Amino acid sequence: VARRGAAADGKFDVGAYYAATPDAATKGWLMQQTMFRIKDPKRSLDFYTKMLGMKLITTGEFPQWGFSVFFVGYPPEKDLGPVPEDDAEKFAYCMRVPGCVELTWNHGSEVEDADRVYNTGNADSTGSKDGESVKGGFGHIGITVPDVYAACQRFKDMGAEITKSPNAGGMKGLGFIKDPDGYLVEILPLGKSFPFPTQEVDCCGVALGEGGGYQDNAKK
């Protein structure tokens, strides 16, 4: 049976892609980072390290160009060892860690009046010249956790902005929260497939049989 992925007509045969052998020239390549522009490094680092439990792995200061970068993630220390103490070695180590988030702070953005200054790619009006919402392109990053319901309860207790609790919407057993700049973070169950594990009531008091239907963040 051919596996199919979504396309404009709802049918796209991806069988050849599953069967394809990667080009030998790409051996050793790694999906290493996604970059977010942020307003305030303190509030973003607090969110990613304290709320999501990531580690600050390395930083880069570029005053001549007016920006700084902060790389956070979940380094596989069992395979790579601990994050080095030496600053010169931290960047090289970071480049071996998959799935990092690069937080880019353009100096001066922290004093702008607006709480959020960058468009997140999810059909909002932030950063648009006419104040109208844009058609979203970028969607979200995602993390996996052993217990989605417990994690979302923790996020709620810590004051996170929850945009989808686990029982809300059409897809049950996963959640979405926003980081301080409004970027979406999906919360998924570690090592599970559909249907995801569920509980009768989630952190926002939504019962499993309630919560409405699916909502496309690109069309808000």
**Residues with catalytic roles:** 186
Kindly list the distances between the CA atom of residue 83 and the CA atoms of 44, 49, 87, 162, 181, in Å, as whole numbers in the listed order. 20, 15, 10, 31, 27
Which tokens sit at 97? 């860690």
DSSP string computed for 108-152: TGGGSSSS--S--SSS--TT-SSSPPPPP---EEEEEES-HHHHH
Residue recorded with tokens 């923790």: 154
| Strand order through the sheet with 184-189 | 140-145, 184-189, 175-178, 161-164
First to last CA, the chain: 36
Mention every residue, 6+ apart, whose C-beta is less than 8 A from residue 30. Answer: 95, 96, 98
Which tokens sit at 108? 């001066």
